[in-house]
Structure 1
Amino acid sequence: MKNDKIKVFLAAPRGFCAGVDRAIEIVKKSLNKYGSPVYVRHEIVHNKHVVESLKKIGAIFVEELDEIEDKTRPVIFSAHGVPKSVSENASNLKMTYVDATCPLVSKVHREAENIKKQGMHILLIGHKNHPEVIGTMGQLPKGSIDLIESAEDAHNYINISNKKLAYITQTTLSVDDTKEIIEVLKSKFPDIYEPKKEDICYATTNRQEAVKKIASKCEMFFVIGSRNSSNSVRLVEVAKKNGSKSAELIHSESEIPFSQIKNCKTIGISSGASAPEILVTEFIEELKKQFTIDIEEVEITRENITFKVPGKLN
């Protein structure tokens, strides 16, 4: 029985970004062109729902190329990007590969190469072991890039290279946390070289801004996304930091905390850049079974960016 009225603030933009759309399209078009199976190295995007739906139409997911038994089949590299050694290995194995790296991640890769050519030493602000960070660090010879994960790391960093320093960042970081790290680096190394345009992508920035706009009005905040999705986890942190009493990630194994929601008059909802809108719809449908809800979508900007798929798939 519906027993409570709840106001739902729905953040916009939310969900799929252009890089994720493109990566999923690349898998589908590769299946159309080459037939099934096609292999995908690493989750194409960090979302179980997306991965499972692509498996159903003939995609096989592996972590490394040596897991692929039939090397005559094509392999797709995920949206997060891969170290150069992976594409070199695929070429040596004479494999057909399609690179689904998000163009905004590729931009950071090119930036790293250009900075290295100018003789500078690179600091990458990002999260250790995230596939995007592994891919970016793998664009250059070992030792060319040092990872900075926190303001504390920045504060303790010693430049033993004796070269001028430059920084680049992972594309899916918290805008505010990154700003703090950059401020520490700039005060410690006043002549540090910075990217002409910041590396955190438009989609990450927009989703965080949309959450900031409504967080303080929400007693609870829910972000639909995966546990290994950096941008989804950051949205939970942003909601907490910006005034929501509690915020949590709703992933594939989550139980919806109805007993807590019952005590709320207002809740907020957003979704990470790799979460399909159907998951938001399903979450709202579950709420409707228990509560009378009034939804207000709060849109801070309209996104109309699209990225083309590689020409060889058309």
Structure 2
Amino acid sequence: MDFDIASLDPALPVLIAGPTASGKSTLALTIARAQGGVVVNADALQVFANWRVLTARPDAAQEAIAPHALYGHVPGDSAYSVGHWLRDVAPLLAGGARPIIVGGTGLYFSALTEGLAEIPPTPDAVRAEADARLAREGHGAMLAELDGATSARIDVLNPARVQRAWEVQRATGRGLAAWQDATPPPLLPLDRTQALVIDAPRDWLRDRIARRFDAMLAAGALDEARANLDGWSDALPSAKAIGARELIAHLQGALSLDEARARAITASQQYAKRQRTWFRARMGDWQRIPVGASL
């Protein structure tokens, strides 16, 4: 069905989820232009200051149309978790401009609308042990040590999620699922929002991802990677930006630009597949907006 922006209540917060390259930021900006509000980032990669082009952060022209918040505010070498994001977003919910919260990180939205378990910080020694095991053994070994309830709940194909769950269990002696079951009330319950999720067909999205990466290259993504080359490390929090490792490998002489491009596009398409799976499983109560709907 077509989506009519006029059907939205300008007084209620809007949530917009969608896979990478699906057009969710355009929808958010269109709503802000029509009804007012502040566009708030809910993408775990767009928080980093050192990757603007590669993470498709809004450009200066888009930011001039409406206020934006929580984009590029975190140094690339600083850890940033969903807990950090909740603390940053809380003041934006307290009053003032109506928030239009947009992004592709499903965990941010679930923590916002369902609550986040108050898990103690991971000790540095446990994090170092987990990093070493991941590099040496892969995430499968850590996955095998998780309790059944946690294994059934997390994305077992995502090494970062598996490592996080293992760290929690190792540090606290309690499974991540048990911590989550003791979750406090959410900052923004879903029934107090207008929650939209973009429904993008797989083949349409795959083609759009490829075209968008080429547009990123044309817009200076390689120059951006060159600016990140000095001091580059796979261990940096911002190194998770999709395409970063591939472009850095090209600049280091390990890949041709064509190889880097192909691998980055594949990585982005795989990421979009995981996002779509999450949204189908966890956002059944959200209003689905088919790609191509009238905006």
TM-score, with structure 1 as normaliser: 0.35
- Structure having the larger proportion of residues in strand: 1
- Structure having the larger proportion of residues in helix: 2
- Work out which of the two has the higher radius of gyration on C-alpha atoms and give 1 or 2: 1
